[in-house]
Amino acid sequence: MLVALKWLTKYIDLPMDHEELAQRLSLAGLNHESTDVIDNQIVIDLEITSNRGDCLGHLGVAREIGVLFGLETCFPTPVLQENGPPIGDLLSVRNQFEEACPRYTARVIQGVQVGPSPEWLVEALQSVFWKRRLDGTIERYQSINNVVDATNYVLMECGQPLHAFDYSKIADKQVVVRPAANQEIMHAIDHKDYTLDPSVCVIADSTHPSAIAGVMGGASSEVSESTTDLVIEAAVFTPLSIRRTARKLKLHSPSSYRFERKVDPVGVEWASRRVCELIVELAGGTVAAGMIDTAPEIPTRAPVVLRASQLERILGIKLDVGEMTRILEALGCQSGSLEGDAVAYTPPSWRHDLTREADLVEEVARIHGYDKIPDDSPIPVAPSAKRTFDTAMGKIRGVLTASGISEAMTPSVVTEKLDQSISPWTDRPALKTQVAMLKGAKTLRRSLIPSLLEGRAKNWASASLEADLFEIAHLYLPNEGDDALPTEHYSLALVTGQDFYSLKGVLETLCQRLGVDVALDVKTVDRIGFPARGCVQLVLGDQTLGYLGIVDPKVVKSWKLPNAVCAAEVSLEVLLEHSQLVPQQKAISMFPSVQRDLNFVVSESVAWREMEQVVRAAVGDSLAKITYRETYRDAKKDGNDRKRVLMTVELQRHDETLSGEQADSLVNEVIVACQKNLSAELLS
């Protein structure tokens, strides 16, 4: 926001120099970016945060200066002579899009003479509408005419965007606020055509659009030298609607910048009177009697209670109720009921960001002066309880980094080609943004694995480093229906040069560290980006935890990686649902255990998980532990499609010491169960 000090002096005396002014504004939250001298005028550039739309005009900045320095302000009071016919006889307004335009006002001025602007107006606009070119020269504001310049002047005066239409070019003398038709074309005043859709709000007449609401006017109704009658628009457009439109069309303007940050709903009528007053002064004409207003009743603001004790608790300094009230009333708040040290304040219409007690505490602090708060002020701080999610993430990161896997952070939007390379969760087409968030990237990713593969490839290309990576982030899984919102899926993904079983071991360790008491099962599946039978579905109970597999060699080759890559992706929601993050006490048997090694010959199709389940069912509570040792294959001795699996069974009871006969009996039950359920043969 460029602020000309000469312009400011119309509303407030500035006894201080511009360095002191800039410093004080910065300390109060309006950060000073730079100071320039334009045509012997001092212009300061202030960074206005998104919640302070009230300071996007000289009046708002003057109001802040008055509060900070205790100076009186003098704001103009527009006076209109409405000598024309009733406005209802000249114009009608229909608002068919209140979601995007909660309030629309219009006035009519007849008999204006459009011409050059006076020198003082051009000078004022040139002081705040300019930009520096790369070669250091300045590109100045080019005066348009006295009517358009007047609307720009009021814009920079109070922060309320305005627009003037040529009344004679409005078909049937109707103004219609409506959604644009699908593929509707509008030729704007920048001499470009824009293709619109129903999400865009337009200001139209009975036949065609005249302006993209809150963003830019249309060429069909712009004011020219032949214009004699005007329609003056002053409206409120919702920030979300304007932001979407500006980004969709890649069309940003001083008006859209202000509407995106909210305008003062009460100030709309003031701005309308102010610009009409200026136009009549500069171009003559007669103002029609009355103003069309689609929403003249403005909701009252709810009061916010501020306790003086909260100031001391949060800031560490004591301020009495009187000083607290003085500051907030100077900012425009109205003080109400008082109970002890608590006062109810009603925020002004231009401060939409004041909605809770903490907001008022901040206002008092910045006006009182952050620099006046001692560094050693006693502020009681108590640590908040850690969220369950944060505790789990800490344990997950601990396990993975201990396994030599580094954490990565990658963008949520990727190229279509990258997204299609691997997609274990779904084969539905990914959702896409209408505007690329990154160069060439418009696709909301369905898996983290492709991004991690890209990261591994870049590490290899730049440093010959085979980086093992993991990431914790959201996926966006498409649902049925074109308009259905995606399912945001919190996921953990890993890519590593380790083999399949090593990565599976990392995941099993992760489950163990999180206290998952449900056994991790696997099922062979086919998924995009993995070779046939090269991927397994990870299952906890009856829920899909995720997928683990060897990445398709074609995908690995496309990234020019030298060796095979194994990848996994799991649902954190499912993982945390089965987790027990607080360790539970378990009774430890005081009696010794007995260990027996068993070597079975089983079919190649028998998985270790099946053998473990059979052993647990056979032994029951007497099983302390079962440990997989190794798998060995000898086709000559055991036959094709047969393998030897060596396991250690540890037996133990909590009420007595197992005798040799009892242990032999239990082991025999294991052997019989494996023979019966798995067709296993015991090797002696």
- Give 238-264 pLDDT, tens digit per residue: 999 999 999 999 999 999 999 999 999
- Per the structure, how many domains does the chain have? 5
For residue 70 the two structure tokens come to: 């205790």
Question: Which CATH number covers residue 148?
Answer: 3.50.40.10
State whether 412 and 539 are in the same domain: yes
* CA neighbor of 548 nearest in space, from 529, 576, 573: 529
Report pLDDT for 14. Answer: 94
451 and 554 fall within a common domain: yes
Closest C-alpha to 279, from 98, 150, 170, 142: 150
pTM value > 0.85: no
User: Residue 539 is inside which H or E element, if any?
Assistant: strand 535-540
Residue 429 has pLDDT above 70, yes or no: yes
- Residue 674 domain-assigned? yes
For residue range 180-237, list pLDDT tens digits in order: 999 999 999 999 999 999 999 999 999 999 999 999 999 999 999 999 999 999 999 9
Q: Which two three-digit tokens encode residue 399?
A: 């396990």
CATH (domain of 488): 3.30.930.10
Q: Is 242 within 8 Å of 214 (Cβ atoms)?
A: yes
Q: Which of 14-18, 37-41, 170-174, 279-283 has the lowest mean pLDDT?
A: 37-41
Q: Is residue 252 part of a domain?
A: yes
Is the Cβ–Cβ distance between 442 and 493 less than 8 Å?
no
- Does residue 517 share a domain with residue 392? yes
Span 320-360, pLDDT tens digits: 888 999 999 999 999 988 888 899 999 999 999 999 999 99
Q: Does residue 91 share a domain with residue 33?
A: no
Residues in the chain: 684
In a shared domain, residues 429 and 558: yes
Question: 637 and 546, same structural domain?
Answer: no
141 and 240 in a single domain? The answer is yes
pLDDT category at 481 given cuts 50, 70, 90 is: low
Largest Cα–Cα distance of the chain, in whole Å? 115
Owning domain of residue 20: 2-69
E strand or H helix that includes residue 242: helix 239-249
393 and 540, same domain (yes or no): yes
Q: For residues 645 and 614, what is the distance between their CA atoms, to the nearest angstrom? A: 14
54 and 95 housed in the same domain: no
Q: Is residue 600 part of a domain?
A: yes
Pairing assessment for the beta strands 443-444 and 406-407 based on DSSP bridges:
unpaired
Amino acid found at 88: G
Write the pLDDT tens digit of every residue in 26-53.
Answer: 999 999 999 999 888 999 999 999 999 9
- pLDDT tens digit sequence for 362-390: 999 999 998 888 887 777 777 777 888 89
